[in-house]
Structure 1
């Protein structure tokens, strides 16, 4: 048998790949992450880590470090629709700052709120932090300027051919390979996995510029996003440091990009164009997320319109779903269904988020279709156009920013790892988050009497929550120990939490999704453990 150099090789060191590496390293899994570029990306891409992603960063131990790089807690999160920054806004949508959101979360007992607010932080600031954390995480080897060139898998592992920028090609062997290598994924293409949906919807230009004065001089009010009512579908995004900005617009190759910035701002100011890039809108999801010992993750598996912020955030969800399952496979306590469940759980999320992204973009498209070239003019006809745009924007634009149900309410009900309950599972709502403790959902945030958050009392592996405080749990503890899976038992005699969660016992997975609930342990604890650790197929085989 060939020698294994790493448990997992990760191709691609964007936020998703680096998060997966950190999670694996913390779980004791030896991993190598390789990136073809010599360093982290220099330009902003994503700009918002949503509330669920920030909960994940908190669990991994660095949410506060992420916040230190982005918008300060008092900065406005408002959104404007306008013709120029000097013109009266056509619509103004208020959203709480991070500080105000945190006060709202602290003021109630939980259930309806996330544990962490969202955070604006640019990708070119987030990636260096994640790189630094990954390099300091035990069991993680980070290599930049090192491209994955090819791979070949067999029943025991994957041979990965690497091409370092300044060295000879080499081959390493791993038990598993994770392709976090973006929309043009070499890993996905090598596996012959196709994308389904709508591709090449629109070509866009991104103008990235820096100005130390613009943010403080915006006359219509400070915010995070400004959508321009013009014929180029332009928008301005204030990046996390409030000195970098991006304008995304449908512009020709020969456009005067400096003038395009000035036209939309509407007054002279000092700025430096840093980069002009090209990108294309897609709504696509891979037909498969796994081929043997190889997995695709993040943009390699799904490409969405940035509207609604479901790109990187969906990828972070992929990473934390896959990480603990790879740990279970490497450490021997996971059954055959454990790795199969990655696609079973995450591809429906990818499809749902792809469609939600398209729905949000179509809401923005409704008011944009009413825009005509005369909209800035000082005429009755132009005023009528502005009135129509305003009416449509007020009715439809909030789709872009209000998809809380998509972010927090997704469920893995139906997964082979989830102990199903009788009756129909709750339907996911795109906008409304309805917290409950049904198997499949992330455990809702709730504050405990001692001031701790429920999510913070969970162990790194499985956690049995005994909300009655004295349930005999020896049979379940023995069953987990027999298969070698990690289990913590947390006892909380808390009537409020019992009532809120609707049960006395909860079994929570390492990714904080609920696997089972009840008021008494099942008679056959080993059967439950086999279910949640992916030994379902083993159970069937032994029964036969």
Structure 2
């Protein structure tokens, strides 16, 4: 809330530095688990600039558990609006390639009829960051256990075995000492927290620089002969693109032209017809494919862009950070409440850093595809002659195969697997393959529990609580009493759900499935484990 911080020092279980979507999500997830926190950000408010513009299916499932999915859908891109992608030479010319994708409403209809676990519970939602952040900030403001301070910045911190002492500076220049058990840096690619810990970024940085023009147009989608699309990729010498934002009136134009060029003229030339244009902002951004060497140092953690930087193709930046937030939230809560053991917080890096590496690789894969087909763009591509037609045909053929990499990342979004020490091993567990596009549902330990509709029309995901959940599946599910007793003896929260659905039993592959608080499978079997107490110690990191 907005009351002054108690002086000195203020104490809080968790200090979160950075109030972008990742920090806000972490704060809200902690609050849901009854863990108070202090959230600070050096910016007084969100900037009206496009950054991310897509909450993927996994992020939307996470927001659903926070009670926010419907609000995000209502604030975002209309469910009836086009999701199509077009490769063009100019918006006054016929598209070279038209990739058709279902609208948001059509995706939700597909989900409603799916019964094999292959669909997520929520469709992805296009929503601009400048729309999402105020929505999340409003939720934070209404949550009593979150103390938010905007316009405050982290000046320094030191840690010991018992926690972290930080110095914050407010808008008036006054400094405040804060003592927390844990500190989480969600402060972006230039993370103050990461730099203070001297944690290096590994990979490839400064790969390219682009100019981004944020503009408003009332009639672009209605006037262009190429027809409406959510994203236009230009086969031109400047590697241009136009991406629609959530209200269908704002767009950003990306180009390799320098920021001091006549960008309005370049935009109008790319459009090729007369439209109204109001340029709001011009900025430059650099492309990186980087991963922090470590996600943790003692009682300090990194999440979001502070520990992974990707090229936006594939939409894996913020969404990877939301996954970081929900993984870290339940592990912090479990540790603070006393039932999480010492290995549980260690498993945050062990779980999430491989996902970060996987998504850097997926972004690399999508970027390589885009660059490959664009390498076939030659002067004369718009000419109405044999050479022009040949160039256009080659570009279209290459883009038809390679551009899909950017827009069909279902496996990267849903198919990753955790293999840390707090996940039970299973001899038949499938490998986490390099497949980035096709999602193959699996309930083997470490994977996200596939979404299944029950016979009553309820989503099984919606029945799972804040602690562990033990699913007894099928009409003749075995007894799980030894496991239930072991959880009870250890003081670890466990809900037992008797699910009579044979379809769920078939999708999940076993009669008993133990699900973590983040909806990833911890263990499964057809009978209770021989040493139930040992399993409880393992999945809680030695806790209980």
In 2, Cα distance between equivalents of 1:172 and 1:312? 28
Counterpart in the other structure of 1:495: 502
In 1, Cα distance between equivalents of 2:397 and 2:289? 28
Q: Cα deviation per residue 1:187-230 (whole Å; 9 max; x = unaligned)?
A: 00110100111000001111000112222223222221000111
Counterpart in the other structure of 1:372: 378
Counterpart in the other structure of 1:450: 456
TM-score, normalising length from structure 1? 0.96
Of 209, 214, 226 in structure 2, the residue corresponding to residue 220 of structure 1 is 226
Q: Offset at 1:471?
A: 4.2
Unaligned stretches of 5+ in structure 2? 1-7
Deviates more, 1:56-65 or 1:107-116: 107-116
Of 493, 498, 512 in structure 2, the residue corresponding to residue 486 of structure 1 is 493
Q: Say if 2:116 and 2:507, in contact at 8 Å, map to a contact too.
A: no
Q: Offset at 1:119?
A: 0.7
Of 251, 255, 261 in structure 2, the residue corresponding to residue 255 of structure 1 is 261
Unaligned stretches of 5+ in structure 1? 539-544
Counterpart in the other structure of 1:416: 421
Counterpart in the other structure of 2:403: 397
Q: Offset at 1:472?
A: 3.5
Q: Offset at 1:424?
A: 5.4
Q: Say if 2:40 and 2:149, in contact at 8 Å, map to a contact too.
A: yes
Q: Say if 1:37 and 1:144, in contact at 8 Å, map to a contact too.
A: yes
Deviates more, 1:515-524 or 1:15-24: 515-524
Deviates more, 1:152-161 or 1:130-139: 130-139
Q: Cα deviation per residue 1:218-254 (whole Å; 9 max; x = unaligned)?
A: 3222221000111111111000111110011111132
Q: Say if 1:36 and 1:144, in contact at 8 Å, map to a contact too.
A: yes
Q: Offset at 1:3?
A: 7.2
In 1, Cα distance between equivalents of 2:9 and 2:236? 60
User: What does residue range 104-503 of structure 1 map to in structure 2 within 5 Å?
Assistant: 104-412=110-418, 414-423=419-428, 425-428=430-433, 429-468=435-474, 471-503=478-510
Q: Which secondary structure does the structure 2 equivalent of 1:443 belong to? A: coil
Q: Say if 1:4 and 1:175, in contact at 8 Å, map to a contact too.
A: no
Counterpart in the other structure of 1:65: 71
Q: Offset at 1:332?
A: 1.0
In 1, Cα distance between equivalents of 2:122 and 2:429? 30
Q: Say if 1:302 and 1:350, in contact at 8 Å, map to a contact too.
A: yes
The alpha-carbon distance between structure 1 residues 3 and 165, as it changes in their structure 2 partners (threshold 3 A), is closer
Q: Offset at 1:330?
A: 1.0
Q: Say if 2:61 and 2:122, in contact at 8 Å, map to a contact too.
A: yes
The count of corresponding residues between Structure 1 and Structure 2 is: 535
TM-score, normalising length from structure 2? 0.96
Q: Say if 1:26 and 1:138, in contact at 8 Å, map to a contact too.
A: no
Q: Offset at 1:379?
A: 3.3
Q: Say if 2:259 and 2:284, in contact at 8 Å, map to a contact too.
A: no
Q: Cα deviation per residue 1:283-305 (whole Å; 9 max; x = unaligned)?
A: 00000000000000000000001
